[in-house]
Amino acid sequence: MYPAAPRILVVDDDAVIRQLVVVNLELEGFEVHTAVDGVDALEMAREVDPQVITLDIMMPRMDGWDVAAHLREDPVTANIKLIMLTARAQEADVRRGSRIGVDYYLTKPFDPDELITVVQRLAAGQPV
C-alpha cells in the first residue's frame, strides 16, 4: 500500500487504550511507536519523526493541549498530522483543538475502523 510503512506515534497514559490503538494500527501495517505522557511525546516526536500522532488530552506531566501547541510551534514537528483521541467530547474542546491546529478529533470510546481510516488518509496526505 505504501512504499514504506508510515510511522505513527500513539500517546496515551492509559496502557489499555494505548495497546488497543497500537494493535489496530500494527494490523494495518503501520510502524507504531508509543509515549506514555506529554513530555515523552515531545521527545519521541523528534526521535521517530512520525507522519501521524494520536494524542490523548488528559495526561500527567503535560496535557495533550500543551503537547499539540509545542508540536505546532516547533518547525521540526509543525507538519506532523495530529489526531486528538480523547474522552473530552465538549464542543469547546473540539474548537480548542481546531485553533491549535489539530487535524482530526476522535472521542473515546472510538470506532477502530474510523481511527484506521483517518490515520491512513492523514499519513497519505489526504484530507479527512
Which three cell numbers, joined as nine digits, stand for 12? 496515551
**Could you tell me the CA-to-CA distances from 50 to 34, 41, 42, 109, 115 in Å, in that order?**
11, 11, 11, 24, 16
pLDDT of residue 89: 80
pTM, whole model, 2 decimals? 0.95
Per-10-residue mean pLDDT for the chain, 128 residues long? 81 96 97 97 97 96 96 96 92 92 94 96 94
pLDDT of residue 88: 85
pLDDT of residue 21: 97
pLDDT of residue 3: 62
Phi-psi region of 49 (alpha: psi -120 to 50; beta: other; left: phi over 0): left
Sorted by sequence, the CB contacts under 8 Å of residue 59 that are 6+ apart come out as: 11, 12, 13, 36, 37, 38
Cis status of the peptide bond prior to 50, with omega within 30 of 0:
no
